Amino acid sequence: MEGLAMLGQLIGQLQDLLQLHGSPPPPPPPSHFRLLHPHLHPDDYHRRWCLHNIDDTPADDYYSLVMAAGKSGSCKMLEPFEPPGPPPSKKSRKGRNQEKLHGSTAIPEAEVMEQDIWKEFPEDLLEAVIARLPIASFFRFRSVCRKWNSLLESQSFSQRCAEIPQGNTWFYAFTHDNVNSGTMYYDPSMRKWHHPAYRPTKMIALPVASAGGLVCFLDIGHRKFYVCNPLTRSFKELPTGSVKVWSRIAVGMTLNGNSTTGGYKVMWVGRDGEYEVYDSVKNSWSRPGSMPSNIKVPLSLNFLSQAVSVDNTLCFMRSDPEGIVSYNMDTGVCKQFIIPAPLHLSDHSLAECKGRIMLVGLLTKNAATCACIWELQKMTLLWKEVDRMPNVWCLEFYGKHVRMTCSGNEGLLMLQMRSRQMNRLVTYNVMSREWLKVPGSVVPRGRKQQRVACCIAFNPCLTATA
CATH at 399: 2.120.10.80
Number of domains in the chain: 2
Tell whether 80 is covered by a domain.
Answer: no
Walk across the sheet containing 368-377 and list its strands.
345-353, 356-365, 368-377, 382-388
Tell whether 446 is covered by a domain.
Answer: yes
- 139 with 174, same domain: the answer is no
Burial group, residue 400, by CB count within 10 angstroms (0-12, 13-18, 19+): middle
Q: Would you state the torsion angle of the CA atoms of residues 415, 236, 196, 421, taken in this order, to the nearest 10 degrees?
A: -30
Tell whether 382 is covered by a domain.
Answer: yes
Tell whether 384 is covered by a domain.
Answer: yes
Tell whether 94 is covered by a domain.
Answer: no
Q: What is the pLDDT of residue 158?
A: 78
Reduce the DSSP state of residue 140 to 3 states and report it: helix
- 259 with 347, same domain: the answer is yes
Tell whether 395 is covered by a domain.
Answer: yes
Rounded CA-CA distance 430/453 in Å is 24
Rounded CA-CA distance 43/63 in Å is 27
Q: What is the pLDDT of residue 159?
A: 79
- Spans of the chain, pLDDT less than 70: 1-116, 118-119, 177-182, 196-203, 222, 244-247, 289-290, 443-447
Which of these three, 162, 187, 209, is where a domain ends? 162
Q: What is the pLDDT of residue 130?
A: 81
- 181 with 240, same domain: the answer is yes
- 129 with 253, same domain: the answer is no
Q: What is the pLDDT of residue 209?
A: 93
Q: What is the DSSP letter of 445?
A: T
Which of these three, 162, 187, 222, is where a domain ends? 162
**What DSSP string runs through 312-341?**
TEEEEEEETTEEEEEEETTT--EEEEE-PP
Which of these three, 162, 190, 222, is where a domain ends? 162
- 181 with 137, same domain: the answer is no
Q: What is the pLDDT of residue 48?
A: 43
Q: What is the pLDDT of residue 33?
A: 47
Q: What is the pLDDT of residue 179?
A: 47
Walk across the sheet containing 434-437 and list its strands.
403-409, 412-418, 423-429, 434-437
Q: What is the pLDDT of residue 254?
A: 94
Q: What is the pLDDT of residue 466?
A: 82
- 286 with 355, same domain: the answer is yes
- 284 with 141, same domain: the answer is no
- 422 with 322, same domain: the answer is yes
Tell whether 119 is covered by a domain.
Answer: no
- 350 with 320, same domain: the answer is yes
- 133 with 205, same domain: the answer is no
Q: What is the pLDDT of residue 76?
A: 43
Question: Which are the contacts of 3, defined by CB distance < 8 A and separation ≥ 6?
Answer: 63, 66
Q: What is the pLDDT of residue 444?
A: 65
- 235 with 135, same domain: the answer is no
Walk across the sheet containing 249-255 and list its strands.
249-255, 264-270, 275-279, 284-286
- 179 with 157, same domain: the answer is no
Q: Which domain holds residue 276?
A: 166-458
Helix (H) or strand (E) holding 120: none
Tell whether 398 is covered by a domain.
Answer: yes
Cβ pair 257, 281 in contact under 8 A? no
Sign of torsion, CA 149 182 352 268? negative
